[in-house]
Amino acid sequence: MTSFVVFIFEIIFWFSCFLVIQTYVLFPKLLDFFSRNKKQNQNIWALNDFDLPHVDILLAVYNEEAVIERKIQSVFDTNYPLSHIHFYIGSDASTDNTNTIISRCLHTYPNINVQIFARSGKSEIINALYRKSNSTIIICTDANVFFEFDTLYHLAKHYKESSIGMVGGNILNPEVKKSGISYQEKAYLERENRIKYLEGISMGSMIGAFGGCYSIRRDLFKEVPKNWLVDDFYIGMQVLRQGKQTINELSAICTEDVSNKLMEEFRRKVRISAGNFQNLFAFLDLMSPTKGGVAFCFISHKVIRWLTPFLLILILCLNLMLYKQGYVYQLTLLGQGLLLTSMCADQLFRLVGIHLKLLRFITHFYSMNLALFVGFIKYIMGIKTSLWNPTERNQ
């Protein structure tokens, strides 16, 4: 290689390394810096305010017999006025006992409005339930996400402030096991919750509420396109596109059991990843420098992360080409080799019942980036349906 080619390769190599470090390390640190001396919105409703808004809860379910009754109970076991709660459940042609359990709950909880759909996918059902709703605030949730006593209040209280268009919930994972990846998933979700919170208080630009629990002003809700895989991200980005703030409320606590099986979580991540690329190209305008904090958070938190599998491949290929250019590149190549082989070591240790957290985190990181890559392939091949099956959880 000529010295000029080597120079170009070196620039690309180090810039690619910087981007990976930016999204995983520097960006959270910058959010900490930008959030200093800032607080969450203080213009909120009190629980006993006469104007406390009515809320419509939208829930799409498919074969959720294991959790649906507990879910319904968690919604109505609340300090929020029951007269202000309207619960819309859409069953996506469930084939287990989900519909029977919901029907039984109707006798106890008359605030439930249930509709059984032909198999059509979550996005289509959420759209249909939205059209049936009429309260000023909509809360979207999942069947395996259980509310605390005051969750609904904390999801609704911020809408006294007219600039706020979406409020994300704080999903916690109470149980983990050493044998799989539930510990790593729990750590990942907790970190994501904090990043979203800091995005909200520093720039009013939480990028993507967790789909299992968030609220939105009804007049900002945009129906999700057909065959769209990640509906919650699409809905949240539409709020930002309309110039309203999105925040994460850490007091809006709910619990969700996470997957402990790597392959089960991999399957879910592939589906989400394909939807991520749908959203990437749908919201290119929000990466414009004129969008300020929205663009900064979108690019740093999501876009670069979605591109990380390609950056990792590029870094490895360039490192192989630059191997003879000095000991620095030999050390970086050795480091990459150790990271990749540690996944094999993790699998070998797992077979004999040894579970090392560090090795499992490395396996989790690379497997989730592989899921992103596979999801991109699925995206470019064309997404023909948004039908889904519930992920097997750590129950």
What predicted TM-score, i.e. pTM, was given to this entire model? 0.91
Q: In this predicted structure, what is the pLDDT of residue 346?
A: 81
Residues 93, 119 contacting (CB under 8 angstroms): yes
Say whether pLDDT at 360 is over 90.
Answer: no
User: Each residue of 310-350: pLDDT tens digit?
Assistant: 999 999 999 999 988 989 999 999 999 999 898 888 888 77
Say whether pLDDT at 179 is over 70.
Answer: no
Among 233-237, 260-264, 352-356, whose mean pLDDT is lowest? 260-264
User: Each residue of 214-226: pLDDT tens digit?
Assistant: 999 999 999 999 9
Q: In this predicted structure, what is the pLDDT of residue 166?
A: 98
User: Of the ranges 1-5, 253-257, 292-296, which is most confident?
Assistant: 292-296
Say whether pLDDT at 395 is over 60.
Answer: no
Higher-scoring residue by pLDDT: 2, 354: 2
Say whether pLDDT at 394 is over 60.
Answer: no
Say whether pLDDT at 184 is over 80.
Answer: no
Q: In this predicted structure, what is the pLDDT of residue 61?
A: 95
Say whether pLDDT at 240 is over 60.
Answer: yes
pLDDT tier at 387, thresholds 50, 70, 90: confident
Q: What is the percent of the chain where pLDDT is above 70?
A: 94
Residues 249, 216: Cα–Cα separation, whole Å: 13
Mean per-residue pLDDT, 15-40: 95
Q: What is the percent of the chain where pLDDT is above 90?
A: 74
Say whether pLDDT at 168 is over 90.
Answer: yes
User: Whole-number mean pLDDT of the chain?
Assistant: 91
Say whether pLDDT at 177 is over 80.
Answer: no
Mean per-residue pLDDT, 49-78: 95
Q: In this predicted structure, what is the pLDDT of residue 391?
A: 61
User: Each residue of 245-283: pLDDT tens digit?
Assistant: 999 999 999 998 766 666 777 888 898 999 999 999 999
Q: In this predicted structure, what is the pLDDT of residue 363?
A: 85
